[in-house]
Amino acid sequence: MKSARIAKAIQAGIPGAIVSADPASKTVEVTGTHDRKAVRVLIAGAGYTPTDAAHP
């Protein structure tokens, strides 16, 4: 499952991070870190193209 792959990559790179992934909407929510750059690098390393969600 793709979402599990992304979650494992983030949790391995950022211990303590909590990852919630929704494959249907292609979104990943990460709590436990404020380091967006590290999250993006880890998602890219898992073979996916990260983008920031639009915030209202």
What is the H or E stretch that residue 30 is in? strand 27-31
Split at pLDDT 50, 70, 90, the class of 23 is confident
- Count structural domains, the chain: 1
For the chain, helix (H) and strand (E) counts, in that order, are: 2, 2
Looking at the domain assignment, is residue 50 inside a domain?
Answer: no
Looking at the domain assignment, is residue 18 inside a domain?
Answer: yes
What per-residue confidence (pLDDT) applies to 1? 60
Looking at the domain assignment, is residue 52 inside a domain?
Answer: no
Range of the domain at 14: 2-45
The whole-model pTM stands at: 0.83
pLDDT higher than threshold 90 for residue 44: yes
Split at pLDDT 50, 70, 90, the class of 54 is low
